[in-house]
Amino acid sequence: MKISMISKSLLIALPMLALGACSSSSESDATSNETNSAVVSAETVETAVVDAMNLTDEEKLAKAYSYAILETTIQFDYDTSVLKARYTKILDAHAKFLVDHPTKLLTIEGNTDERGTPEYNIALGERRAMSVSTYLENMGVTSKQISIVSYGEEKPVNLGHDAAARAENRRAELTY
């Protein structure tokens, strides 16, 4: 009878031990996840560095253009539609993209700050959009791919009334 009692105890204890061995603590899981993340991050950085070292000049230029096309705002000085030199690389990237993808369409939205009459600001916004359009067309983009709209002062990105806010609002937005 003692053997039977011991057998019953073992029958209950062994499955419990097996279940206990299968469980894990959340602390060890978190540590393991952090370790895995660190390894993945290190591998990703290492891969990116190796990839960057193996790129040809043409591939590096293409990568630079792909980053430049993410920039879609062209800023202007007060009361002018003259493009600033620092935006030429960005516009070159957009031109290359549009030339390479002739079915893509671009809308250029001209904007101004709140100073000036509504009529004047609409005209200035249009001149800013036209300035960007002309640059892109000179780079090989067809006029059929470009549409222009002027919002004047109607779509500010910064509602402030100081010099910095006004400077942010003097822009052309490129939207695909």
The residues, ordered by sequence, that sit 6+ positions from 173 with a Cβ below 8 Å of its Cβ are: 72, 73, 74, 108, 109, 111
| Ordered DSSP codes for 144-161 | GGEEEEEEETSS-S----
Sheet order of strands, 146-152 included: 73-75, 171-175, 106-111, 146-152
| 109 within a domain of the structure (yes/no) | yes
pLDDT of residue 131: 99
| 16 within a domain of the structure (yes/no) | no
| 24 within a domain of the structure (yes/no) | no
| 124 within a domain of the structure (yes/no) | yes
pLDDT of residue 4: 57
| Domain of residue 114, CATH code | 3.30.1330.60
| 42 within a domain of the structure (yes/no) | no
Residues 163-176 have pLDDT tens digits of 999 999 999 999 99
Who has greater pLDDT, 65 or 90? Answer: 90
Number of domains into which the chain is organized? 1
Q: In the structure encoding, which two tokens stand for residue 36, read together?
A: 């895995």
For residue 23, the one-letter residue type is S
Say if residue 153's pLDDT is above 90.
yes
Picking from 14, 19, 18, 16, the residue whose alpha carbon sits closest to that of residue 6 is 14
pTM: 0.65
Mean pLDDT of the chain: 82
| 171 within a domain of the structure (yes/no) | yes
| 152 within a domain of the structure (yes/no) | yes
pLDDT of residue 32: 47
pLDDT band at 65 (very low <50, low <70, confident <90, very high): low
Say if residue 36's pLDDT is above 50.
no
Say which DSSP state 90 is in.
H
| 163 within a domain of the structure (yes/no) | yes
Residues 1-21 have pLDDT tens digits of 555 555 555 556 555 555 555
Domain that holds residue 84: 72-175
